[in-house]
Each structure stands twice: as structure tokens, then as C-alpha cells.
Amino acid sequence: MLRRAIEREFEIIGEAMNRIDKLDSTIEISGKFQIIGMRNRVIHSYDKVDDEIIWGTIIRHLPVLKLEVDLLLK
């Protein structure tokens, strides 16, 4: 249940990133296309998303994304 909840959050983040890119592609967010790609893999189960990839993304990339979004909102 926890894994599915986390995957759902990645779906939401990826969809939001996709919409942001369509509205204004000049907005700089590192890993923008990787985030969208993660969303696609999670939704369509491309090659079955590995737990280590999900955990690595949570640890290494989500804190950076949060900082970038916080700066954009200021």
C-alpha cells in the first residue's frame, strides 16, 4: 500500500511537471524530462519500476526539486 501511494505521488508530480513545461518551457527545473519520464514509467509499468530507483529518487532528487520549486514560488 505504501509503495502504491509513493508511486501515485510520482504520477502527480510528473503530470504537474508536464503541464508546467507545456505552459512555459522556459521554466528551469533540473531533471524536468526525467521527472516526466518517471511518471510515464510508473503509469505504464515500463520495465517494472525498481524499488531502488524509487528510493534513490526520493533521497537524491526530491530535495533538489523541492528547493527549486520553493525558489520559483518566491
pTM of the model: 0.83
Assess whether pLDDT exceeds 90 at residue 14: yes
Q: Which residue range forms the structural domain that includes residue 50?
A: 2-73
Residue in the structure block whose three cell numbers are 508536464: 18
Residue 31: closest CA among 70, 74, 73, 69 = 69
Assess whether pLDDT exceeds 80 at residue 9: yes
Q: Which are the catalytic amino acids?
A: 39, 44
Assess whether pLDDT exceeds 70 at residue 66: yes
Assess whether pLDDT exceeds 80 at residue 18: yes
Q: Which amino acid is at 16?
A: A
DSSP state of 57: I
Looking at the structure of the chain, the number of domains it has is 1
* Average pLDDT over the chain, rounded to an integer: 90
Assess whether pLDDT exceeds 70 at residue 40: yes
Determine the Cα–Cα distance for residues 64 and 29; give it in Å rounded to an integer. Answer: 9
| 43-52 pLDDT, tens digit each | 887 667 888 8
- For the chain, the distance separating the N- and C-terminal CA atoms, rounded to the nearest angstrom, is 35
